[in-house]
Amino acid sequence: MKLRSHQMTKGTERAPHRSLLKAIGYTDGELQRPLIGVAQSANEVIPGHIHLDKICTAVKDGIRMAGGTPMEFSTIGICDGIAMGHEGMKYSLASRELIADSVESMARAYPFDGLVLLPNCDKIVPGMIMAGARLDLPTIVISGGPMRTGVCNGQEIDLITVFEGMGKFRVGELSQEQLDELENAACPGAGSCSGMFTANSMNCLTEALGIALPGNGTTLAVDAARIRLAKESGMAIMNLVEKKITMRQILTDKAFQNALAVDMAFGGSTNTSLHLPAIAHEAGLTLPLQDFNRASLKTPHICNMSPGGPDHMEDLHQAGGVSAIMKVLAEKGLLAEDCLTVSGKTLGEVLSNPAVKVFNHETIRPLDNPYHTTGGLAVLNGNLALDGAVVKQSAVAPEMLQHQGPARVFDTEEEAFSAIINQKIEPGDIIVIRYEGPQGGPGMREMLSPTAALAGIGLDKEVALLTDGRFSGGTRGAAIGHISPEASAGGLIGLVEEGDQIKIDIPKRNLELLVDKNELENREARLQAPPAKVKKGYLARYARLVGSAAKGAVMD
């Protein structure tokens, strides 16, 4: 079989190349086999990645068992939770492009025959998948898996409990000792944070896209089953290489529509509306924001996952996992079952396995008894969001689905957080945080601190928050982000003034600034936008090149 890797391993003219590879310890026999790049992001700064060295060893074992030679290399990784609330968060979304570029660079410099992508958290997952779509090699994803649910005083908790506990502490509802107890119990060990936050949303969607084996999204990080799955993934990549099944053969339009349906069913993070379009872009496809609405309107929300509900990833896994969700959807014709998957089988063949079933009909409800009749996400339009805005409607209190109130305007997240935590926000207010978009932030920071503070002080059912930035997958409440165009790109959000009335209608997908057109024209004429926040380094380059959040915030 002619291999891509022969470009650097075959023929007398490649003797110098083989000499260097032998310096690493590879034998002639190993260099004659298919060479599989294993992109991993293990480090000592992300709890979801602290164990990836062990997962990586298992992947390499599987590759060797199936007759291949693994070649491991690494990428960077930023934990959104640790980066939250300070300058570090500006680098989180921006790091997605660095990760994609670094994987691409390695796979072009070393002509691997296949790739195994081993991410786990936040922007590392979409960044690696973007690279895979760009390269179009035989590729499989195996994540590090979710964290166990924390337990404190007999109650299940997670990282969001700590963020909201901080707000409760500030208003006297929690003592320092109680907050310390939450801090010490919420994150019990290795894995991506235990709710349906961004990392777990994206890891679950790898199954829906067909680019990972069943169980990838929900098998716990600390379970032996995760090690076995890693070995199976290592073996599966060899089958993909043999059959010459590349990533773009799997990442089709139908596969993305399947992912949207599953996303709506489990109520994923609003960040999926950034990452799925970006991955589609790298695959040569277009996934407009309005496709999220179309999927939402026809797909009921059937899982009540944290932060909107009580269930965590281990609950979903025990209930049957993503495969069980997909089987429920497929039985009603909501999925394209002819899509190819990395198992070598079609999605329909995967779901026909008798072991795929729902074991808990409260964690995964039937379609005729959903938690909500529409999907977890909604895309809003209107004069305040001409190109769109995104809200996790499944995590919004019913009384806040429609709301009108006065704007409280802030040009940075820090100013808004200070006003919230110092109790300067009144019930009914609509907080507006602008100049925090991909270009204006720069980096489109997640804003879990202000939304969690609102929840902690009990205002999440009375106050809305709008931003051209974004929210953590752990955010709940009437938090509407990704407002496009952003303020720095001339969006109307840049013209909002203190006290302006804003009307939110999530069921009707509408977001309106109730200000006379002539007044807006006068404001635009005298507008003086703040200067660029970053003038050198990677973030400055990112700000110059990044596109709209409505199109995935990809760099052009």
Residue 74 bridge partners (DSSP): 40
- Give the model's pLDDT for residue 521: 95
| Gap between the Cα atoms of 377 and 365, Å rounded | 18
pLDDT of residue 85: 84
- Phi and psi at 135, nearest 5°, equal -80, -35
Q: Copy the structure tokens of residue 184.
A: 């010490």
pTM: 0.96
- Pick from 314, 299, 219, 315: which is nearest to 267 by CA? 299
Pairing of strands 69-74, 35-40: parallel
472 among known catalytic residues: yes
CA distance 76 to 62: 24
Helix or strand holding residue 32 (H, E): helix 28-32
What is the C-alpha to C-alpha distance for residues 230 and 341, in angstroms, rounded to an integer? 16
pLDDT at 71: 98
Supply 122's token pair.
Answer: 């936040």
Residue 166 pLDDT: 87
Catalytic residue among 472, 484, 488, 548: 472
Structure tokens at 170: 């500030």
Cα→Cα distances 62→37, 42, 59, 478, Å: 13, 19, 5, 45
Beta pairing partners, 547? none
Pair 300, 363: CB distance under 8 Å: no
Q: What is the pLDDT of residue 39?
A: 98
| pLDDT recorded at residue 374 | 96
Q: Yes or no: say if 401 and 390 are a contact pair by the CB < 8 Å rule.
A: no
Question: b vs e for 13-24, b when ≥16 Cβ sit within 10 Å of the residue's Cβ?
Answer: eeeebbeebeee
Full pLDDT tens readout for the chain, 556 residues: 899 999 999 999 999 999 999 999 999 999 999 999 999 999 999 999 999 999 999 999 999 999 999 999 999 999 999 998 889 999 999 999 999 999 999 999 999 999 999 999 989 999 999 999 999 999 999 999 999 999 999 999 999 999 999 889 988 999 999 999 999 999 999 999 999 999 999 999 999 999 999 999 999 999 999 999 999 999 999 999 999 999 999 999 999 999 999 999 999 999 999 999 999 999 999 999 999 999 999 999 999 999 989 999 999 999 999 999 999 999 999 999 999 999 999 999 999 999 999 999 999 999 999 999 999 999 999 999 999 999 999 999 999 999 999 999 999 999 999 999 899 999 999 999 999 999 999 999 998 889 888 988 889 899 999 999 998 877 889 999 999 999 999 999 999 999 999 999 999 999 999 999 999 999 999 998 888 889 999 999 999 999 999 999 999 7
Preceding amide of 307 cis, omega within 30: yes
pLDDT at 452: 87
